[in-house]
């Protein structure tokens, strides 16, 4: 099987005001997003609504 470049993701440890999510593309582009507790809760509610 061929070795396919993949996205790499990492997150800082959670703090009281959220955490930093980092996603790196094999091409060298890095995406960062600060996730607040409110953002995380909304994402969970959306995921539950899909089931």
| Mean pLDDT in residue range 6-29 | 95
Rounded CA gap, 48 and 51, in Å? 6
pLDDT in tens, 18-42: 999 999 999 999 999 999 999 989 9
Rounded CA gap, 5 and 44, in Å? 29
What residues does each domain of the chain span?
8-50
Model pLDDT, residue 51: 66
Model pLDDT, residue 5: 86
Rounded CA gap, 3 and 45, in Å? 36
Rounded CA gap, 51 and 37, in Å? 22
Mean pLDDT score of the chain? 91
């Amino acid at each position: 099987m061929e070795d396919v470049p993949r996205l790499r993701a990492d997150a800082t440890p959670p703090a009281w005001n959220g955490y930093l999510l980092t996603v790196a593309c094999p091409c060298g582009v890095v995406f960062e997003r600060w996730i607040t507790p409110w953002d995380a809760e909304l994402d969970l509610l959306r995921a539950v609504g899909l089931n």
